[in-house]
Amino acid sequence: MVVSADVRDVAGMSEGTGEGSDDLFTVAVEQFTIAADVIGLEDDLRGVMSHCQRELTVHFPVEMDDGSVKVFAGHRVQHNSGPGPTKGGIRFHQSVTLSEVKALAMWMTWKCAVVGLPFGGAKGGVQVDPKLLSQAELQNLTRRYTAEIQPFIGPTVDIPAPDVNTNPQVMAWLMDTYSMNVGYSVPGVTTGKPLVLGGSAGRSEATGRGCVFGIEEAARHLGIPLVGSRTVVQGFGNAGSVAARLMAEDGSKVVAVSDSRGGTYNPAGLDLDAVARHKERTGSVAKFSGGDTISNSELLVLDCEILIPAAMEGQITEDNAHDVKARIIAEAANGPTSPEADRLLYERGVVVVPDILANAGGVTVSYFEWVQALQAFPWSEQQVNERLREIMRRSFAEVAGTAETYGVHLRTAALVRAIERVAEISRLRGIYP
Ligand code: GLU
Ligand 1: nearest atom to the Cα of 119: 9
Query: Where do the domains of the chain lie?
Result: 21-197, 206-358
Query: What's the gap in Å between 318 CA and the centre of ligand 1?
Result: 27
Q: Tens-digit pLDDT profile for the chain (433 aa)?
A: 333 333 333 333 333 333 334 599 999 999 999 999 999 999 999 999 999 999 999 999 999 999 999 999 999 999 999 999 999 999 999 999 999 999 999 999 999 999 999 999 999 999 999 999 999 999 999 999 999 999 999 999 999 999 999 999 999 999 999 999 999 999 999 999 999 999 999 999 999 999 999 999 999 999 999 999 999 999 999 999 999 999 999 999 999 999 999 999 999 999 999 999 999 999 999 999 999 999 999 999 999 999 999 999 999 999 999 999 999 999 999 999 999 999 999 999 999 999 999 999 999 999 999 999 999 999 999 999 999 999 999 999 999 999 999 999 999 999 999 999 999 999 999 999 9
Model pLDDT, residue 11: 31
Contact between 235 and 307 (Cβ < 8 Å) = no
DSSP state of 378: P
Could you tell me the pTM of the whole model?
A: 0.94
Assess whether the region 21-197 and the region 206-358 belong to the same CATH fold.
yes
Helical axes 135-149 vs 168-182, angle rounded to 10°? 50
Query: What's the gap in Å between 385 CA and the centre of ligand 1?
Result: 17
Query: What's the gap in Å between 192 CA and the centre of ligand 1?
Result: 9
Beta bridge partners of 128: none
CB-side neighbour CA atoms (13 Å) of 202? 25
* Cβ of 362 below 6 Å from ligand 1: yes
* Cβ of 191 below 6 Å from ligand 1: yes
Q: Which of 64, 87, 63 is nearest to 76 (CA)?
A: 87
Query: What's the gap in Å between 394 CA and the centre of ligand 1?
Result: 20
Contact between 41 and 411 (Cβ < 8 Å) = no
* Cβ of 87 below 6 Å from ligand 1: yes
Q: Judging by DSSP bridges, how do beta strands 230-234 and 90-93 pair with one another?
A: unpaired
44-59 tens-digit pLDDT: 999 999 999 999 999 9
Q: Was domain 206-358 assigned CATH 3.40.50.720? A: yes
Helix (H) or strand (E) holding 91: strand 90-93
Ligand 1: nearest atom to the Cα of 365: 8
* Cβ of 204 below 6 Å from ligand 1: no
Model pLDDT, residue 22: 55
* Cβ of 85 below 6 Å from ligand 1: no
N- to C-terminal Cα distance for the chain? Answer: 37
CATH class of the domain whose range is 21-197 = alpha beta
Query: What's the gap in Å between 252 CA and the centre of ligand 1?
Result: 26
Active site residue ranges = 123
Query: What's the gap in Å between 167 CA and the centre of ligand 1?
Result: 11
CB-based burial label for 75 (10 Å; 0-12, 13-18, 19+): buried
Distance CA 308, CA 331 (A): 6
Distance CA 47, CA 271 (A): 50
User: Left (φ > 0), alpha (ψ -120 to 50) or beta: where does 222 sit?
Assistant: alpha
Ligand 1: nearest atom to the Cα of 191: 8
Ligand 1: nearest atom to the Cα of 104: 4
* Cβ of 91 below 6 Å from ligand 1: no
* Cβ of 88 below 6 Å from ligand 1: yes
Mutate to test the pocket of ligand 1, among 93, 100, 109, 359 (most ligand atoms within 8 A of CB): 359
Q: Which of 264, 323, 87, 336 is nearest to 190 (CA)?
A: 87
DSSP state of 138: H
CB-side neighbour CA atoms (13 Å) of 251? 8
Within 8 A by CB and 6+ apart from 36, the residues are 46, 49, 419
Within 10 A of 224 (CB to CB), how many other CB atoms are there? 15
Q: Which of 232, 219, 225 is nearest to 270 (CA)?
A: 232
One-letter amino acid at 392 equals M
DSSP state of 318: T
Ligand 1: nearest atom to the Cα of 88: 9
